[in-house]
Amino acid sequence: MSNPITMKMATVMHPPEDILSQVHPSLSFKKAGGGMVSTPTDLAHFAQALFSGEVLAPVSLLEMTRDRNPLFENLEYGLGVIYEQSPEFGQRQGHSGVQTLFGWRADLYHLPDLNLTVAITANGYSGDMNPLTDPVDHLLDQIILAAL
């Protein structure tokens, strides 16, 4: 990345002092949490830059997006990216992070056909990962519709 991508509050290894008082890391869970502190706006800026070719070399982005494994109807998984084909919005690419044990969730999706990127973070979790009944997935659809 040669230029900043307008991310103002995202950090990975060395957070600014004003962020340290707001986070409470827990190493008690066996899965990775990404080690990031960010805002939904900065997450959206990151995804927009990633899928626009501003973060990775073109060959790396191609490698990340070309080989996909089918998971469900209209849903595939590549190298760290979920691809969903929607009749309303076209392709949706990104990922969601759900931590049921500690009750948080983050969703980050880029819709290339609409040139739109959406990030949602939420405290609390419904326990429902079915895209037809999941309230956060429904909220994501409503945000996309409002942006059109």
Q: What is the pLDDT of residues 56-81, one digit of tens each?
A: 999 998 888 888 888 888 888 888 88
Q: Above 50 in pLDDT, residue 2? A: no
Q: What residue numbers bound the domain in which 61 lies?
A: 34-147
Whether residue 16 lies inside any domain: the answer is no
Please give the DSSP secondary-structure letter assigned to residue 9: S
Please indicate, yes or no, if residue 113 is contained in any of the structural domains.
Answer: yes
Token pair for 16: 């600014």
pTM score: 0.68
Any domain includes 14: no
DSSP 8-state symbol, 11: B
What residue spans of the chain are helical by DSSP H? 17-20, 40-51, 58-66, 135-147
Which range, 28-32, 57-61, 65-69, 135-139, has the best average confidence (pLDDT)? Answer: 57-61
Report the pLDDT value the prediction gives residue 59, as an integer from 0 to 100.
92
Domain count, the chain: 1
> Which pLDDT value is given to residue 75?
84
